[in-house]
Amino acid sequence: MAHDSELMKGKPVEDNNDPTLHSPEDGDSMTSDERYLQSLGYKQVSDYERLYLIALIEKLLHRQWSLFESFAASFAALYSVGGVRVTFTIGVGAGGPAAYWHVYFYFGELFLLITEQVKLCCYFWAAEAGGPKYGRLFGFIVAWWSTTAWTTFVASNSQAAANFLLSEISVFNLDFSTDVNDIKFRAVQWIVAEVILFISIGTNYFGPKLYKWIFKASVGIILLDFLLNIIWLPIAVSKTYGFQDAKFVFTETRNETGAPPVWNWMLSYYVTAGILVGFEASGHISEETKNASITSARGIFTSAVASALIGFPLVILFLFSMPSLDIIYGLGAPQPFVQLYAMSMGRGGHIFMNIVCIAGLMLNTSIAGIAASRLIWAVARDGVLPCSGWISKVSDKKEPKNAVTVMLIVAALLLCTILPSPVAFTSLVSAAGVPTITAYALISFGRTFLTPHGFKNARWSLGRWSRPLNFIAFVWNLYLAAILFSPLYFPVTGATLNYSPVIFGAITIFGFISWLVVPDDKWLPSERIGRLQKTVEADPHLD
């Protein structure tokens, strides 16, 4: 490369249009991704000269992942098969089967619209949506929201996997309580969840080449899980306790929450709001993805479509395949689906099914951890978090292992909430969903009212429909946030309180404080907010 000697010395290069840096014939991601990041003033890894990084970025950040890995990241992070199963009994308890299938169907349609509108929901997109006046504040707030949401997501996934494993206590009638109100059980639950967390996130220390196998395994286990439920479960149910009728599935209502009837029905959205989030994982790994400026958007949208398409038929199948509601709520396992599989498939058959469930959740946790750690690294790189300099450092192999460690420690601490609270799981689901949903809402608000004419020339765009659909996404996500803030059980007591609003309020305060404390020159300078729109309009090769 013509400028290697200059770059090695850290000297500036005057000709930023040098074809050795930007030639479209290079056949690599430099022509779009690195020109895009250069235009925003990013240096991709801390403590290196920016131009040297631009020249060698492929080596530094291991930009080796393709459309498949981008798709797999969001597809596995969503994991609609596992998500439906994990929160199934909560969903049918709020409104009954009639509410559950209605909610999933209509939510799925709006979910696809939201993925179209907020395809790369990162904190910098929030800053761009806020424009010159509010962009920096939006960026800091969403940075804290997003990093907390993804880290909490990792914690709640680990507890969900622990619940599947510990439900075998009830299946095999072991002499140990599985009542979540029993502190002894919660202590065991906490230990198992922590072990699962450390195993799942341990894979995040693998190099990108090796980690490709995790992406492949996650997609494979999700498809296997889906096929086993679609084929094996109906056969097993038909030979045991039999199917529910259509009247039960489509019209039966239920109120296990104790909430007023209308709000009880609305609470069924809690399940879908907790399942169909996380589609922006492809965006969080974009700096390790080839041609990320278009590949990440494609990965997000295709994974969202795939997740919605496999999720809805499973909801209908599970409703037809469940025993009566009284039986479901009489089961003593922390995850009733394990006992449902045992009732239909027998003790031997359900063990294999449960292994698939646990493996799927652990792979789901691992990939959520990859997305979370990359998000934390990117935010720290821009000086938003405490100890940003250390967090944003990369290893000798140019991997953000410090960010992985921070994410692991915080998630482990969040799991400690299991010990004092019997509703820790539902609160963690809310705490993971609320910041993400509110981030979607804030970005949609900004793009509707503050920067409605930005992003006009993106290659992946809805054109004139963008603004009205952004407004719909804004209103819809505010509504979902209210659902996720709500307690799930009434009357509300200290034992049933949903403490996600407390977590959300705290992280919003942290974001506001960091916005006040961190100087402009330690972050993206305020004059750069809005440069994205100008860059996109000036260069059709960028999106």
Helices (H) and strands (E) in the chain, counts: 26, 0
How many angstroms separate the CA atoms of 164 and 229, rounded?
16
Reduced to 3 states, what is the DSSP secondary structure of residue 65? Answer: strand
| Residue 539 near residue 458, CB atoms below 8 Å | no
Least confident of 151-160, 289-298, 451-460, 498-507: 451-460
How many angstroms separate the CA atoms of 180 and 332, rounded?
10
How many angstroms separate the CA atoms of 294 and 540, rounded?
13
The values of phi and psi at residue 436, to 5°, are -65, -45
pLDDT of residue 63: 64
pLDDT, tens digit (0-9, with 9 covering 90-100), for 182-238: 999 999 999 999 999 999 999 999 887 888 899 999 999 999 999 999 999 999 999
Full DSSP string of 94-162:
BSHHHHHHHHHHHHHHHHHHHHHHSTT--HHHHHHHHHHHHHHHHHHHHHHHHHHHHHHHHHHHHHHHH
Task: State the Cα torsion 315-317-318-323 to the nearest 10°.
Answer: 140
| Residue 219 near residue 226, CB atoms below 8 Å | no
DSSP single-letter state for residue 245: P
The CA-based angle 80-339-344, given to 5 degrees, is: 90
The values of phi and psi at residue 46, to 5°, are -65, 155
Strand partners, 327: none
CA atoms within 13 A on the CB side of 247: 0
Distances (CA, A) of 115 to 3, 194, 284, 403: 41, 32, 14, 26
pLDDT, tens digit (0-9, with 9 covering 90-100), for 345-354: 998 899 999 9
| Residue 107 near residue 275, CB atoms below 8 Å | no
Is 444 a residue whose pLDDT tops 70?
yes
Q: What single letter denotes the amino acid at residue 29?
A: S
pLDDT, tens digit (0-9, with 9 covering 90-100), for 144-197: 998 998 899 899 999 999 999 999 999 999 999 998 889 999 999 999 999 999
- Could you state, in order of their start, the residue ranges of all structural domains in the chain? 62-537
The rounded Cα 88 to chain-centroid distance in angstroms is: 19
How many angstroms separate the CA atoms of 91 and 329, rounded?
12
pLDDT, tens digit (0-9, with 9 covering 90-100), for 75-96: 888 788 888 898 888 888 888 9
- Which two structure tokens, joined as six digits, stand for 80? 């609609």
The CATH code of the domain at 62-537 is: 1.20.1740.10
